[in-house]
Structure 1
Amino acid sequence: MGERKGTNKYYPPDFDPAKHGSLNGYHKTHALRERARKLSQGILIIRFEMPYNIWCDGCKNHIGMGVRYNAEKKKVGNYYTTPIYRFRMKCHLCVNYIEMQTDPATCDYVIVSGANRKEERWDMAENEQILTTERTEKEKLETDAMFKLDHGGKDKEKLKKALPSLSEIQDHQSGWKDDFQLNSALRRKFRNQKKVLAEQEEKDDAVRTRTNLSIPLLPEKEEDKKLAALLTYQAPDSYEDKKHSKRKEISFRPWFNSTTATPGRATGNLLQKLGLQVREAKAARALGSSQSSLIRKRTEGLGIKNEPCATVTRRTSDPEVHTCVGEVRAAVTSLVADYSDSDSELGK
């Protein structure tokens, strides 16, 4: 990027190229500025990238591969003619310092102190892969005929063990050789599925239109069909029907509470008759009063007889006599007689 910037270096009048060499020599500064502040000790500040995953010994946190640090780089030795460099950096999560150095023998980095490596290395022998032949073994195969013969026998045994799995893999791969047939089968399957989806969408649209819904419908299941068949839907009664049934229940309710246990159906019929006759008597008493015209208008649709009671019409001057006592007594007497007859029949 240097050729794209206007540096505009100023050379002072007392600058001597033979004496100073460059502007950095004139200003007595290094070209790397702060990165070279420990250059006299053989240390250079560089940007170091973590080569693999490690665990910090100070904070016990995980530091991933690729995390970058400002590390102090210095030379600590040689591997033959290859220099060995050591890097010292501070953990960004604690005050612990991590030291690593190069290992030219294995083309890797080695942790000196401050951290532990997270073991994620691939072992070819553990994963049943073919190992590379070492140099000493290659030389022995070329020079020793007996070793070569023995080595060939071991290879044949390995081949016999691996042959079934290899043939299975080859058979599986042979089914994928014809690309045209695979593409045709896939497109045919897609067309069939598309038709099924279109038909299902039409059915769902019809159901949504009929039920006035705007939600997506799930596919039908046999369990849902069985559950729907077990359900019975019944429309609730209207307000008028409920009101009519309640009035009917009140009208057939007995007026007198029974103090003794009554024998079932006969007792219920007896109380129903008694209540009906008492209501008729009270209606007759009311029709004989001064408000009889208004009551007749209101009771026309109830099916009540409008014949006034003889006792009421005969003695209208006395309000206490408006009870129709005689007729009520006669009704009760007849009902008691019926009740005794029903009890005798049940006893038989």
Structure 2
Amino acid sequence: MSAPSKSVFLLGPGLIGRNVIDLLLAEGYSVTALVRRESAAAELQNDGVETVLGTLADSEIITKQTIACDIVLHVATADDLPSVQAVLKGVKRRAQDGQQTIYIHTSGTGLFGDAAKGQYEADRVYSDDKPQDIDALPDTAPHRAIDLAIVRARQELGHGAKVAIMIPPLIYGIQHEYRRLSIQLPTLTRFALKHGYAGQVGRGASVWSTIHVLDLARGYIALLRWLEQTPAGEVMENPYFFCESGHDIAWKEPVAVIGQALHAAGRIKDPSPRTIPEQDYKDLFGEFTPLVVGSNCRSRATRLRQLGWQPREKGVLESLQDDEIPLLLQETGEFNGYTGVAAS
């Protein structure tokens, strides 16, 4: 077997992607990253990363860089179809030229979030060794339209590419050098700082699986190694990989930590969690608030564990208290809800 290619094109060098880049560089990969700002490009270049200025809307740039690299990792967002289509266009062009591509896309377990609205815990737990359960999800499920474009392209490409979809749950934690924050729990914390109480959707009873960002980054590397070593026919059998810590939490648990920490810091008067009125969802995730921080979303990373991957970072509640909240307490400026794109 020939040595695997070491050229990688990465979209999204943010919370997840920056940590993945460090691991790729440590293993001798040559990395090119799509970046929006010259300041971010300079930081990456100092670490030996090639950069291309552009956004997810720059389809021609994305396709061109995909054609130039044997490995593509899309870790910017689970919900940008044009950028995925641009990657797939490049992958198909490479296949036509007899060049095989490894493509790892990032989705999220919001795929199977329910309508619990924080009122109850559901028993359903999805496992990535049962792809039929994921394929049975409705086409209208969150992230599913993008995932389906990839699944259908896999079928068209056949053995011409090795394509996989990483599906993380609630991402938490920081890498202390970069001090980047995740989305869901920091947004709940910013909401509490703005409104003066720790808020939850409904009773906060619904449950999500969790993953520390550094364990997730290692999951991408474990998946990449498997793709490099595995025949395309075997890769075709199942595109889905979950990545979770084994520790599921009800939403009321981190909300309680937020309340206690902000009260101890003198930033709110009462640490007790309260139900958030729907009119204030605009300061969270708008109409998607019940799904993003109030649904049940439970998964098991059976396949990564079979590859030898294991989570090893601190748990979500300890990380929230020790790492994220201290950074959030330093923030200034007005907060009006989360409006960006994400991979969770």
Q: Shared fold (TM-score greater than 0.5)?
A: no
> Which of these two proteins has the greater Rg computed from alpha carbons?
1
TM-score, length basis structure 1: 0.13
